[in-house]
Structure 1
Amino acid sequence: MSGVRVWTRELMGTVFSVHVVGDASGGPEQRAVEDLAAARFFDEVSGIERIFSTFRDDSEVSRIRRGELDFASADPRVGTVAAACDEAETATAGRFSAHWRGGFDPTGYVKGWSVDIAGAGHLEPLLREPGIRALGVNAGGDVRVWSRPETPWTWRVGVADPARRGSIVATIELTSGAVATSGTAERGGHIIEPASGRPAGGARSATVVGADLATADVWATAAVVAGAEDLSWIRGAPVASGLIVSSDGRVRRFANGVELCIVPAA
């Protein structure tokens, strides 16, 4: 029999939650190990936020944007993220970029990357514990999960309908990997076309399934910028599958670089 324990913390302007699926009979020692892993995960993400936040005046990214700090003198992780963002900009043909809104802004990459990094360091090792079957992180609706290979555990991730609050347009099942959704339903026109500087308006939302959350998040953003009429990018994208909800409510689904179907608007 399995039980699920959940920890939450407000980070990066949203709510992060850690989910651990383990044997319900796990004793105090197992629970203490889980508590420590969750706390260390949150602490590492919080430390990353202190470096990369564009809302904190004292963050290294804010200091770089004001010209008070150069990349060479910054925390080494800033250079790592900057290089990854440059690679993502090239891979997405400019649909994703960390150079907009007044300077270097890796916000669209850092949240997913922080979950991957902190999860690998503090959560994934829990799978070596005999009583733990699966792990998951929900970071403001973006999800990263892990499961023991020998355990028949499947995560079911609902994809929100951007037109109808509380409804879903699809359910994604996976044992390990990531699901990221970008769109305008919750926060309005916050996704910007890097080339024009205008809000992206060709899709209400895009959901992408990938091996890690940083990759899934980058390509979900790129998909919204591309719009629902342009799926040319899926052929070379390093993602498993996904769906795009158009501005008129149609749903386009794809997998392994091929469009599977178009579902008419309800």
Structure 2
Amino acid sequence: MSAVARPVQPPSSEHARAAGPRRHVVTAELMGTVASAHVLTASSSPAPDVAARIAAAQSAAMDELHEIDALFSPFRADSQISLLRAGSLRPEDADPRILEVSEACVRLASASGGRFDANRHGWFDPTGYVKGWAVERAAFRHLAPLLAEDGVLAAGLSAGGDMQLVTAPGADWVWTVGIADPLRPGAVRAQVPLREGAVATSGPAERGAHIVDPRTGYAVRDAPTATVIAEHLSDADAWATVAVVAGFDDLTWLRAAPDCSGMLIAADGRIRRWAHGVEVAAVPAETALLS
């Protein structure tokens, strides 16, 4: 999964920088990437009890991500996924979260026409789904309740650039998510203002041709980079992978996807965009428009 989407809220002036919200950030290395929990408060010095609850919630969110990583990682011999593969753990004795993820992956494989499939080489490997699901779960369980605290404006949890964002009702805050240009490292190709929702990006920019088409068993060549914006990160993350497997010229998967928006960037720089499941195509300047 390409880590190319980052939450940004640039101040418009030096005064705005001084008077703007304070961002409380905790980071941790896990799931083979870096996760970060962001909480924004109206005051640079929230009440001590509020500050303590923010710190506790961020710590709990990271703890849950570590726990899920230990449960699902195929790279750890002691994970339940590895134990199931080795036959030393019976499915009925596994953590119920494994069944939850397994059922979600089965539904996704069917809805995507096989473009996503967590069964590889005869065994279950949900790594293409778990990260987004885990971040979404931890964000809603631990960070979202902070929005009820006095002075808390927004919160977000990110792993590898894929993020779940929430904003307090009535808060004057909008996340500006920068979508990086996979063809120009360090450059931003687009920005998305978002109060609530999730953003995920998948593609070859950082790890090369690593995404496998389950229908062929081979890595996708000349793969586009896909960014999907949805209500839930489990959806955004999974369908971004589906979009890469489908390729730049195929948007038929949108008919089965949940309500989402996004963009594809082809290996040659061409772009396709869609909003709420409908493609938004550029119109040539010379094309006459109906009035």
Cα RMSD, aligned residues only: 1.5
* Structure 1 moving runs of 4+ over 3 Å: none
Change (3 A) 1:262 1:10: farther
1:250 alignment partner in structure 2: 270
2:22 alignment partner in structure 1: 3
1:204 deviates by: 2.7
1:122 alignment partner in structure 2: 142
Once residues 142 and 188 of structure 1 are traced to their aligned partners in structure 2, the CA distance between those partners, rounded to angstroms, is 18
Which amino acid in the other structure matches residue 259 of structure 2?
Answer: V
2:129 alignment partner in structure 1: 109
2:68 alignment partner in structure 1: 48
Q: How does 1:69-108 map to 2 (within 5 A)?
A: 69-101=89-121, 103-108=123-128
Which amino acid in the other structure matches residue 222 of structure 1?
Answer: V
- Correspondence for 1:227 among 240, 244, 247: 247
Check whether the contact 2:135–2:163 (CA below 8 A) recurs between aligned residues.
no
Whether 1:14 aligns to 2:39 is no
- Correspondence for 2:161 among 129, 141, 153: 141
1:239 deviates by: 3.2
Whether 1:153 aligns to 2:181 is no
1:131 deviates by: 1.1
Once residues 258 and 174 of structure 2 are traced to their aligned partners in structure 1, the CA distance between those partners, rounded to angstroms, is 22
Once residues 196 and 70 of structure 1 are traced to their aligned partners in structure 2, the CA distance between those partners, rounded to angstroms, is 30
1:110 deviates by: 0.6
Which amino acid in the other structure matches residue 84 of structure 2?
Answer: I
User: How many corresponding residue pairs?
Assistant: 264
When structure 1 is superposed on structure 2, of 11-20 and 96-105 the one drifting more is 96-105
Please identify the structure whose Cα radius of gyration is greater: 2
Which structure is richer in relative contact order (CA contacts within 8 A, separation 6 or more)?
2
Whether 1:199 aligns to 2:230 is no
Which amino acid in the other structure matches residue 193 of structure 1?
Answer: D
Which amino acid in the other structure matches residue 13 of structure 1?
Answer: G
Once residues 88 and 132 of structure 1 are traced to their aligned partners in structure 2, the CA distance between those partners, rounded to angstroms, is 35
TM-score scaled by structure 1? Answer: 0.95
- Correspondence for 1:169 among 176, 179, 189: 189
Once residues 263 and 41 of structure 1 are traced to their aligned partners in structure 2, the CA distance between those partners, rounded to angstroms, is 45
1:262 deviates by: 5.3
1:102 deviates by: 5.2
1:202 deviates by: 4.6
Once residues 201 and 157 of structure 1 are traced to their aligned partners in structure 2, the CA distance between those partners, rounded to angstroms, is 28
Check whether the contact 2:50–2:150 (CA below 8 A) recurs between aligned residues.
no
2:16 alignment partner in structure 1: none
Q: Deviations over 1:229-255 (max 9, x none)?
A: 001111331032000111211010011
Identity %: 48
1:67 deviates by: 2.3
Which amino acid in the other structure matches residue 26 of structure 2?
Answer: W
TM-score scaled by structure 2? Answer: 0.87
